[in-house]
Amino acid sequence: MTSQAIDLQKSGSVSDLDPRRWLALVVIGIAQLMVVLDATIVNIALPDAATALHITDANRQWIVTAYALPFGALLLLGGRIGDYVGRKKILMIALGGFALASALGGIAQNFAMLAGARALQGVFAAMLAPSTLSMLTVTFRDPKERAKAFAVFGAIAGGGAAVGLVLGGLLTEYATWRWCLLVNIPISVIAIVGTSIYLHESSTERQGSYDVLGALLATIGLGMLVWGFNQASSHSWSSPNTWGFLVGAVVLLVVFVWWESRNPHAILPLRILKDRNRAGSYLVGLLVGTGLFAVFLFLTFFLQEVKGWSPVKSGVAFLPFSVGVIIGAGVGSQLVLKVGARIVVPVGLVLGVIGLLLLSRLSLTTGYLGTVLPAILLISIGMGFIFMSTTNVALHGVDAGDAGVASAMVNTTQQIGGSLGTALLSTFAVSSTVSYLAGHSTGGAPDKLLMAAAQVHGYTVAFVWAAGFFAAAAIASVLMINASRQDAASAEPGMAAMV
């Protein structure tokens, strides 16, 4: 008997005829909206937060990284805990914890407090995200209704990012950047009340361990890797403060792989990586995440700090990205059925490379319509191609028992890539800014014009590196992904929608 069948037996009152199932979808959607909002709303608020808390250029990337790293590293463990303890119970705990972490961030008095609160948000998000997906699956058993429910869920995931951009701008400009975190509190309260009333408990009878050791090895190893990248901006790559952490990270990650290969209850069963296409989709996700997160970070700084745009105007400037992703996903979903992921994925990545190279031409006089907007559209349409196709490839031919971890790994690799890339590209940007100032300074403190030019130079260097990661992903996709249109047609759409 499959775990899904067991879930359905245990939650017998959750049926297709349950009149409250659509209200349950509203509650699940609110919970998911909060996670999606936090991925974008803080980016718009970051320049104001950095100024208010005196966060250095080298450290402000941690406000993004501190959330993405535990989110990605603990996502698989969070799903496993929900399976065993009960998804409704874990969802309510995660919602409460997320609200508490948001409150701590909203009242943060310094960098350490804000970064710590963001990390705590990431921990609870890793519990929350898989719980919402699991609850959606067991609440809607009828295939047609489930497809509708996942369509609504997907719309929230896509549209929520756009809402976060605009809401972040409005709250930052007309209230304070702190409300970009505090807004999660009322959302969490509504979701907790709704969960207690409209959702039914669901769990699995599978026995096994949580693989806490595996989760700790991965999280600490990745954390040391990010910290090592960060140290290079204030020290040098040859400094023990840099390479010491990098070497330690490699050792821990090697031990993690060794442990996972021998643990029957591994958080990451290495057998799912044996499929060439699946491994290729994860590698593409990792490399894309490495380059993509920097787009939002550095473009936000460019628009607000260099161009002097307001938070609201900056948020609206990013809206075409959400539109482009929707267009790309719609077109890509048709193309993948006609030509296969082996064509669609590289095409999407090439579009991303072109867009990032356009951004590498930014200057103090660059206009939005001539350069930034075309770049955003190219990158976002390419992302629509990639996200849909790699999810499809990751789920093709996977055993039923591994479907959950296989789908979750798509999001995991993107989040981990984002945390690593944000740290690494921020280091490149800061180092390049410092070098530019040193090469163009005439003595004394640099004026505002020189400082702005140096900042833009740092951003363009970061965009070139991001384009390099996308190019590497394109090469990896050509070498590893050979899924045809027949493979795409045979992938289970319901599971693909869950990611």
Inter-CA distances, 107 with 34, 124, 186, 351, Å: 19, 19, 16, 41
Q: What is the DSSP string of 460-496?
A: HHHHHHHHHHHHHHHHHHHHH----HHHHHHS-HHHH
- Look at 383 and 410; give whichever has higher pLDDT: 383
Contact 37, 162 (CB under 8 A): no
Q: Where does the pLDDT of residue 491 fall: very low under 50, low under 70, confident under 90, or very high at 90 and above?
A: low
What CA–CA distance (Å, rounded) separates 85 from 400?
A: 21
What is the pLDDT averaged over residues 2-31?
62
Domain ranges in the chain are 17-208, 211-266, 274-499
Q: Which two tokens stand for residue 70?
A: 């535990």
First to last CA, the chain: 24
What pLDDT is attached to residue 403?
A: 66
What pLDDT is attached to residue 381?
A: 93
Q: What DSSP designation does 109 have?
A: -
The pTM for the full model equals 0.85
What pLDDT is attached to residue 11?
A: 42
What percent of the chain is modeled with pLDDT above 90? 38
What pLDDT is attached to residue 6?
A: 42
What is the pLDDT averaged over residues 94-114?
95
For the domain with range 17-208, which CATH number is right: 1.20.120.530, 1.10.260.40, 3.10.290.10, 1.20.1250.20?
Answer: 1.20.1250.20
pLDDT higher than 80, residue 277: yes
User: What pLDDT, in 10s, does the model give residues 179-209?
Assistant: 999 999 999 999 999 999 888 877 666 556 6
What CA–CA distance (Å, rounded) separates 20 from 22?
A: 6
* Cα dihedral across residues 331, 334, 338, 341: positive or negative: positive
What pLDDT is attached to residue 102?
A: 96
pLDDT higher than 60, residue 3: no
What is the pLDDT averaged over residues 454-462?
95
Contact 215, 77 (CB under 8 A): yes
Contact 320, 380 (CB under 8 A): yes
What is the pLDDT averaged over residues 104-114?
95
Contact 42, 237 (CB under 8 A): no
What pLDDT is attached to residue 1?
A: 40
What CA–CA distance (Å, rounded) separates 22 from 88?
A: 16
What pLDDT is attached to residue 176?
A: 93
Q: Where does the pLDDT of residue 8 fall: very low under 50, low under 70, confident under 90, or very high at 90 and above?
A: very low
User: What pLDDT, in 10s, does the model give residues 385-429?
Assistant: 888 788 778 777 777 666 667 777 878 888 888 888 888 998 899
Please state the length of the chain.
499
What is the pLDDT averaged over residues 60-67?
88
What pLDDT is attached to residue 118?
A: 94
* Range with the poorest average pLDDT among 43-52, 92-101, 334-343: 334-343
Q: Where does the pLDDT of residue 50 fall: very low under 50, low under 70, confident under 90, or very high at 90 and above?
A: very high
- Kindly report the number of other CB atoms within 10 A of residue 481's CB atom: 26
What CA–CA distance (Å, rounded) separates 438 from 231?
A: 20
What pLDDT is attached to residue 445?
A: 64
What pLDDT is attached to residue 492?
A: 47
Query: CA angle at residue 423 from 417 to 426, to 5 degrees?
Result: 125
Q: Which two tokens stand for residue 466?
A: 């991001």
What is the pLDDT averaged over residues 94-120?
95
What pLDDT is attached to residue 270?
A: 86
What pLDDT is attached to residue 158?
A: 66
Confirm whether 17-208 and 274-499 share one CATH topology.
yes
Q: Where does the pLDDT of residue 10 fall: very low under 50, low under 70, confident under 90, or very high at 90 and above?
A: very low
For the domain with range 274-499, which CATH number is right: 3.40.50.2300, 3.40.50.1820, 1.20.1250.20, 3.40.50.720?
Answer: 1.20.1250.20
Amino acid occupying residue 27: V
User: What pLDDT, in 10s, does the model give residues 202-242?
Assistant: 766 655 667 888 888 988 888 888 888 878 777 778 888 88
* Cα dihedral across residues 100, 103, 109, 114: positive or negative: positive
Closest CA to 190 of 273, 51, 96: 96
* Range with the poorest average pLDDT among 248-262, 289-303, 443-457: 443-457
- Look at 178 and 20; give whichever has higher pLDDT: 178
Inter-CA distances, 57 with 343, 361, 379, 471, Å: 39, 21, 25, 27
pLDDT higher than 50, residue 327: yes
- Computed over every residue of the chain, the mean pLDDT equals 84
| 55-70: burial string, b at 16+ Cβ within 10 Å, e else | bebbbbbbbbbbbbbb
Q: Where does the pLDDT of residue 112 fall: very low under 50, low under 70, confident under 90, or very high at 90 and above?
A: very high
What CA–CA distance (Å, rounded) separates 292 from 356?
A: 9
Q: Where does the pLDDT of residue 497 fall: very low under 50, low under 70, confident under 90, or very high at 90 and above?
A: very low
Q: Show Cβ contacts of residue 458 under 8 Å, excluding neighbours closer than 6 positions.
A: 428, 429, 430, 431, 432, 433, 436
Contact 382, 350 (CB under 8 A): yes
What percent of the chain is modeled with pLDDT above 70? 89
Amino acid occupying residue 418: G
Q: Where does the pLDDT of residue 494 fall: very low under 50, low under 70, confident under 90, or very high at 90 and above?
A: very low
pLDDT higher than 90, residue 21: no
Q: Which two tokens stand for residue 326?
A: 């929707």
